[in-house]
Structure 1
């Protein structure tokens, strides 16, 4: 049932008409995706995730990207993979359920409609996690969706 509430689209950050990277999020994680040049192997990549930033590039060269994250992550729980020419960095959110409006500071925020859609999807994901016997995939909110990290005492509130 959780797969029905998984992100269905990635948010793209573009510069001069070119996609620089894409990202998506779940209640627990924020995922970062970037295409690497043809022929790049994992062993030559230099990837660093701290609680507040992401840096990566090819070893021995200046980083391709080094930016401050919009929200904090648990760096020790984060990992990366390279598959089919795409670098995927999976970062565990420090504040579970908090909707991110941008991956990196200064890289443009989600438009209001996309932000609201993310909040609604994350709220349904939270409901599904808290009530595993129910299917919330078709649920809709009447009005603005609440912040899933704060609604009714927050995640894990008893």
Structure 2
């Protein structure tokens, strides 16, 4: 039996959600970091836990018990910028700072069920959060996209037209009546 692409995607999403729900933790990420939330028995304090955060290894356990999560991290992290806390004595929150901040993780540790990183909807960022060069590039892309949607020339074409107009003014002796722009 053939399934439609939409039905297939729905089944894959459901399977992925079920696999993630079975994990003893939940996690979310941005391009910069991964945050892991691990429920623990109420009353758990820092002295009751064994937490190891290394460049490429991760372990969270209640002392004297099997680890809740342990394994090789999917990607390397910045150990000095990664932290953990216990929230309301019932949840361990681990913040892992990514070394490669242009890559989505498909799982926290190697061997854990994976997510489809192609389906991640990144959070909206503000232009003001970007450095000058990146911001200028994004603004240019946004302008060009709006121009294209309206059927108008993009910024590069406008720049060429402007340069051509200046050249025509500087050279009134020349005949530009048959000049054409090539895109």
Asked if Structure 1 and Structure 2 have the same fold, meaning a TM-score greater than 0.5 normalized by the shorter chain, the answer is yes
Gaps of 5+ in 2: 1-15, 136-141, 143-183
Is the CA contact (8 Å cut-off) linking 2:74 and 2:110 kept in structure 1? yes
Distance 1:13 1:89, change over 3 A: farther
Which one of the candidate residues 108, 111, 133 is aligned to 1:106? Answer: 111
Alignment partner, residue 4 of structure 1: none
The answer to whether the 8 Å contact 1:27/1:126 transfers is no
Matched with 1:121 is 122
Cross-structure match for 1:156:
none
Unaligned runs of 5+ in 1: 1-10, 134-138, 140-158
Bigger-Rg structure (1/2):
2
Per-residue deviation, 1:126: 8.6
Equivalent pair of 1:22/1:33 in contact (CA under 8 Å): yes
Q: Structure 1, residues 9-45: CA drift from partner, whole Å, max 9, x if none?
A: xx97858x74411111112111111100122112211
**Residues 126 and 24 (structure 1), Cα distance of their counterparts in 2 relative to 1, 3 Å cut:** farther
Match of 1:67 in 2: 71
Bigger fraction of residues in strand: 1
Identify if the C-alpha distance between structure 1 residues 125 and 99 changes in structure 2 by more than 3 Å, giving closer, same or farther: farther
Provide the rounded CA distance (Å) in 1 between the counterparts of 2:38 and 2:18: 10
TM-score (norm 1): 0.62
The 1:129/1:99 distance shift into structure 2, 3 A limit, reads farther
Bigger relative contact order (CA 8 A; separation at least 6): 1
Task: Provide Cα deviations, 1:106-133, integer angstroms capped at 9, x if missing partner.
Answer: 112113xxx2342x416x5496632698
Structure in which a larger fraction of residues adopt helix:
2
Query: What does 1:36-55 align with in structure 2 at a 5 Å threshold?
Result: 36-55=40-59
Q: Distance in 2 between matches of 1:96 and 1:43?
A: 32
Q: TM-score, normalised by structure 2?
A: 0.55
**How much has 1:67 moved relative to structure 2?**
1.2
